[in-house]
Amino acid sequence: MGRGKIEVKRIENNISRQVTFSKRRSGLLKKTHELSVLCDAQIGLIIFSNKGKLYEYCTQPLSMGQIIERYLRVTGTRIPEHDNREQIYNELTKMKNETHHLQLGMQRYKGNDLSSVQYEELLGLEHQLEQSINKVRARKFQLLQQQLDNLQKTEKMLDKENQDMYRWLMNNHIQKQQEELDQHQQAMTELKLMGHQQVSEQFPFCGEEQPSGHLLQFPNFPLHLYPYNLQPTQPNLQEFTLQHPGYD
């Protein structure tokens, strides 16, 4: 069964077109090299892809310039030489004019050299300056608002830190007061226990039922007896004392 004839036309699919270009370009370069070596031919091959990428082959030891020059000499054609001095002069003049207008515009924006400016141009310049001022003020207010927002965030953060520190100090203060109160209560409890123990040692039966058949024993308190004489103030007592001296 014979090979079918392929219709030669542009491949619409980008991927298929790129794959076909790569395969056939390699084959073409290979065939060109074989032809140059086998037949001792001088060949110059130039290929541009659809994206503008250059591929070339040149028979060694010649260069592509030498092959092109030989081609021009054999065919009798010449590459036209363009005198671009006029084009360069026009571009230079255009750049000078643009630079002059820019410098003049900068001077007018600064308010200098307005003597030759007409009324309509002054109105346009004033309008442009007002628009520029509005943009500058809008940007300035935007930066100020950003700074204000940052300051407010910093203030909130510092306020939160201050509240946290205050709560921490208050908790520590309350905890310390509670510890001191507990220590005071413990000390008072110990003092009460010590006082109760001393009373119990002095009064063994204090708060307890006395044993039957025994007398209540009191602690030995020192008794200081001070003698005193009765000084009668009534007359009859004085006479009685005089008559009975032994009753002093």
DSSP string, 133-180: HHHHHHHHHHHHHHHHHHHHHHHHHHHHHHHHHHHHHHHHHHHHHHHH
Look-up of token digits 């003698």: 227
**pTM value surpassing 0.85:** no
C-alpha 248/C-alpha 222 separation (Å) is: 27
**With left for phi above 0 and alpha for psi between -120 and 50, is residue 46 left, alpha or beta?**
beta
DSSP 3-state assignment of 32?
helix
**Which mean pLDDT values do the consecutive 10-residue runs of the chain (248 residues) have?**
71 89 92 92 90 89 88 82 78 90 79 76 84 90 93 92 90 87 86 72 52 48 47 52 53
CB contact at 8 A, 135 and 144: no
Structure tokens at 93: 């003049």
What residues does 142 pair with on adjacent strands? none
The domain limits of the chain are 14-75
- Counting Cα atoms < 13 Å in the Cβ hemisphere of 237 gives 7
- CB burial of 64-99 (b: ≥16 within 10 Å; e: otherwise) equals eeebeeeeeeeeeeeeeeeeeeeeeeeeeeeeeeee
Looking at residue 182, what is its pLDDT? 86
pLDDT of residue 116: 74
Nearest alpha carbon to residue 229 among 218, 221, 237? 237
* pLDDT for res 158: 93
Q: How far apart (Å, rounded) are the C-alpha atoms in residues 127 and 118?
A: 14
CB 48 within 8 A of CB 21: no
- Burial class (CB within 10 angstroms; exposed 0-12, middle 13-18, buried 19+) of 232: middle
According to the model, what pLDDT value does residue 221 have?
45
pLDDT reported for residue 161:
92
Architecture of domain 14-75: 3-Layer(aba) Sandwich (3.40)
